[in-house]
Structure 1
């Protein structure tokens, strides 16, 4: 069973994302129809349809964004194009860092 594995087709990922979006759009139509069929109010059905449409639009946006990739191409020196190189932020010596749990004087006493 070992042998050369077929390379994944880059278009298949786009097709599957498109299928997901098409099914979601179909659901945005089907769910309100079913709700009306079972006697839900028109206002409730409209609110559900708008909510489903908003979720579908957000998912479509995220799917398209993930297909494109979010990292910009790197330059030959390993830095991102247009981004100046900056050293990581470090606190000066002797500086007190925030955070942690400070309970002195603020804990209520029963």
Structure 2
């Protein structure tokens, strides 16, 4: 039985959290190593913009993935139930060949 999902089990959320941490850490490191406050601020805004865009794309792809999973789930039969096929079997005289009614390959006309 799969365990229930917890908020910290979200891989996209983990990526966004690390990116936000980087948005805070990078300007500090830049200022320590001699970059101006203005340059560090520009880097911070740039990283924040990239992080926001990546977050939006991750959320969009998660929605698309959930929608695709829902469509696949609708196509599957319920567990324990079998689909009916309209294939001709040995009982209907079709043998192993579908679309053919006799050994000659041409169906007789009425």
Task: Give the alignment's TM-score, normalised by structure 2.
Answer: 0.52
Residue 26 (1) aligns with residue 21 (2): yes
Of 58, 61, 73 in structure 2, the residue corresponding to residue 63 of structure 1 is 58
- Give the count of matched residue pairs: 67
Q: 1:42 aligns to what?
A: 37
The one of the two structures with greater contact order (alpha-carbon pairs below 8 A, sep at least 6) is: 1
* CA pair 10-60 structure 1, distance change in 2 beyond 3 A: farther
Greater helix fraction, Structure 1 or Structure 2:
2
Q: Report the alpha carbon displacement of residue 24 of structure 1 after superposing the two structures with TM.
A: 0.2
Query: After the TM superposition, which segments of 4 or more aligned residues of structure 1 sit over 2 Å from their partners?
Result: 9-12, 70-74
Structure 1 portions without partners, runs of 5+: 1-5, 75-110
1:29-82 Cα shifts (integer Å, max 9, x gaps): 0000000111101111010000000000000000001001186988xxxxxxxx
Root-mean-square deviation (Å):
2.5
Of 47, 50, 53 in structure 2, the residue corresponding to residue 52 of structure 1 is 47
Task: Give the alignment's TM-score, normalised by structure 1.
Answer: 0.52
Structure 2 portions without partners, runs of 5+: 72-110
